[in-house]
Amino acid sequence: MNAPLKEPGRISRTLIRLMMKRARVAANEAIGDGYRLITLEGPELRGVDWLPGQKIQMAMGSAFVTRTYTPIDWDTDAGSTRILGYVHGMGPGSAWVAGVRPGDECDIFGPRSSLDLRRIDGPVALYGDETSIGLAHAAMHADASRRVACHFEVGDRVGSGMAAARLGIAAAATFHERRADDAQLAALEESLAAQAAAGARFVLTGKATTIQRLRQSLKRLGVASGRIAAKAYWAPGKVGLD
């Protein structure tokens, strides 16, 4: 069972008040095994300059302990945004995603730069995992005319497919279920050649070691580094990469 978040101390409360935006949870919808579509709203979310691909950081009971999420959209007039959370492990991020309820308040730092999707023109091939599905939604809805093909390595193909369907990106998504021997990585690599031949620009996100392997494969295919944008969201044993 996930432990509850601790109340912030005096210094942390001061930093939260000065640097973060207060929001209220409007909804926490289960849309697939482990996936939660969370809607945040509040006056401080109005008039925000948000760009698809940017990140926010949620305070996990302290200004010094945060977890990073990619908003899938942002209504600056209404003052609301949505994030896709994924429950895995026993950390504070999973505890928050699983336990937060409508009416709960939270504190947000950002939005801040992470991946600038505006600089990526033409067709896009997006590779990632459970943590990348929200970014895929943002990429596809930022420019409805742009072709986006998504490849995700996931622990549960069915649950991930349900989440993608709820977000309206299932038709563009291929799921590669993880295996003990990492055979799914070979399938990811095999799909690169067709995307490269089609002139796609590559967006690599998610697990750091997977990104490294795909980068090496793209290099062997002769894909120029200027056609590749990458952002590691996590690595085993580490927190706060993005």
Structure tokens at 171: 């038709």
Mean pLDDT of the chain: 90
Confidence at residue 2, expressed as pLDDT on a 0 to 100 scale: 46
Reduced to 3 states, what is the DSSP secondary structure of residue 71?
A: strand
Q: Tell which phi-psi region holds residue 237, choosing left (phi > 0), alpha (psi between -120 and 50) or beta.
A: left
Which domains does the chain carry? 10-112 (2.40.30.10), 117-234 (3.40.50.80)
Split at pLDDT 50, 70, 90, the class of 64 is confident
Tens of pLDDT, residue by residue over 175-196, are 999 998 889 999 999 999 999 9
Integer Cα distance of 146 and 140 in angstroms: 7
Residue-wise pLDDT tens digits, 132-190 = 999 999 999 888 888 999 999 999 999 999 999 999 999 999 999 999 888 999 999 99
**How large a percentage of the chain has pLDDT more than 90?**
75
CB atoms within 10 A of CB 39: 18
pLDDT band at 1; cut points 50, 70, 90: very low
Look at the alpha carbons of 151, 154, 156, 162 in this order and tell me if their dihedral is positive or negative.
negative
- 89-96 average pLDDT score: 87
The band of 89, judged by pLDDT with boundaries at 50, 70 and 90, is confident
pLDDT class of 3 with cuts at 50, 70, 90: very low
**How much is the pLDDT for 205?**
97
> What is the mean pLDDT of the segment spanning 83-92?
90
Whether pLDDT at 11 is above 80: no
Q: pLDDT by residue (tens digit) across 212-241?
A: 999 999 999 999 999 999 999 999 877 656
- 222, burial (CB in 10 Å: exposed 0-12, middle 13-18, buried 19+): exposed
Q: What is the mean pLDDT of residues 102-127?
A: 92
**What three-state secondary structure class fits 112?**
strand
pLDDT of residue 5: 53
Mean pLDDT, range 81-101, rounded to an integer: 92
Confidence band for 61, pLDDT divided at 50, 70 and 90: confident
Whether residue 14 is predicted with pLDDT greater than 80 in this model: the reply is no
